Copies of this chain bind each other. A is one copy, B any other.
Amino acid sequence: MPLSQVGEDALVRLFGGARRGTAAGRGSTVVVGPGDDAAAVRPPRGSRLLLTTDLLAEGVHFRRTWAPPADLGWKLAAVNVSDIAAMGGRPLWALLSLALPPNLEAGFAAGLRRGLVAATRRFDFAIIGGDTCASGAGVFLSLTLVGVARARLLTRDGASPGDLIFVTGHLGASSLGLAALERYGTGSCPGPLRACVRRHLRPEPRLAFGAALARTGLATAAMDVSDGLSRDLGRLCASSGVGAEVSADAVPIQAATIRAARLLGCGAREAALHGGEEYELLFTAKPRDAGPVAALGRRWGLPLSIIGRVASRGAGVSLIDAGGVRHPFATKTWEHF
C-alpha cells in the first residue's frame, strides 16, 4: 500500500515514540511526548545538553535501490549518536523529520521505523517528536538528537603541538562498502565485500569509548571521522590552530578491507585516508598519557592506533608516505556542493 493511502496522521502515529512520563536514561523525564505542538522534557539536574542534527538525502547519501529502509533508520540514528559520542556525552531524546514521496510503499516507513527503534534501544534514547511531509522528489530524513554532556566535554579545539594523534578501530571499509553497493547492490554482493557493506549500512558509533575518554580527561581534542580522515583531521587542526603529521603506514586498515579493495580494484589506503562515514573517533592526547589511553582501549575492547603527531600551525597538515616522503595531507573526499 502506498503512503498516499496510509495518510499523514497514521504515518505520524507509526513513528509515535515515547509517551508522557517515559524516563529516557537516568535523571531525565519526558513530560509531554509526541502529539502536542512541542514535546516537553525535564533534563537531568544541573546538566549541560548536547545538540546535533544530521540528514540523509536520497541520491546524495544513499540510493533506495541498495539501502534497505531498516538500515537507513539505523544509520540516521547512528550518525547522530556518533556526534554525541564525539563530545563524550550520552543521547537522551530525538526529533525525526521525514519527507517521503506519496507513492512510497508503506513497508518502507515500517522498515525505517524498525531500524530507528533498534537504535533507540541500543543507544538508550527516546523519539519524542518530529514532522512529516510529502516529497515530490526522493526521500529526505533528518534527525535531531539531544544528549547530556559529562563534566568534561570532548571538543575539537584543545590539541597542542607534540600531542599524539589516535584513531579508534580501523578505516577504509565504509567507503569500499559504498563502492560495492554501487556496483553490486545489496543482494548479489560477493562474500568478501559484505563486511564493508555492513560497515557502510550499519555503522557502530563509539559511544561507550567516547564517554570513557571524556570521563578520564585524557583527550586534548576529539571528533568523529564522518567526512574522511584527511578532511576531518584538517578541521580538528583548524579548530585547535595547529598542524599535524600523519604516517600513512600507521593508519589502521583491516586485512578484510585490503582484500575487498583488491576485489573492487580500489586502493585500500586511499579509502582509509580519504573515505568518509567511518564513525571512528579521532583524538589527540599528551605523549605522557599514551599508556593510560592504550589501557582504556583495552578495557573497552577497542583497537587504538597512533597515526601521527600534532605540529605547529605553520607546519601545515602533512602525510608521510611509506617511502618517508612528506606530502600535503589534502582532502580528496566528497564535497557536497
User: Which A residues contact B (CB, under 8 angstroms)?
Assistant: 3-4, 6-8, 11, 31-32, 35-43, 45-55, 57-61, 82-84, 86-87, 89, 93, 95-97, 99-100, 102, 128-138, 140, 142, 144-147, 149, 153-157, 223-224, 239, 335-337
Contacts and interface: CB of A to CB of B under 8 A. Distances in A.
Contacts of A131: 53-55, 142
Contacts of A157: 36
Nearest to A45: B46
Contacts of A38: 50-52, 83-84, 86-87, 89, 145, 147
A261 B138 CA distance: 35
A37 B84 CA distance: 7
B97 A133 contact: no
Contacts of A89: 38
Contact of A8 (B6, B59, B335): B335
Nearest to A140: B140
Contact of A51 (B45, B129, B140, B335): B129
A296 B55 CA distance: 42
A146 to B, nearest CB: 7
Contact of A55 (B7, B45, B60, B142): B142
Contact of A52 (B8, B37, B60, B102): B37
A302 to B, nearest CB: 18
Given A32-B153, A53-B131, A87-B37, A337 B136 contact: no
Contact of A35 (B50, B52, B156): B156
What is the copy number of this chain in the assembly? Answer: 2
Contacts of A42: 48-49
A163 to B, nearest CB: 17
B144 A57 contact: no
B6 A337 contact: yes
Contacts of A51: 38-41, 93, 95, 128-129, 144, 146
A337 B37 contact: no
Contact of A61 (B58, B133, B223): B133
A42 to B, nearest CB: 5
A95 B52 contact: yes
Given A37-B224, A43-B49, A130-B53, A102 B337 contact: yes
A102 to B, nearest CB: 5
Given A39-B50, A59-B137, A132-B336, 4 more contacts: A31-B153, A32-B87, A45-B46, A57-B99
Contacts of A155: 32, 36
Contacts of A224: 37
Contact of A337 (B4, B54, B156): B4
A122 to B, nearest CB: 19
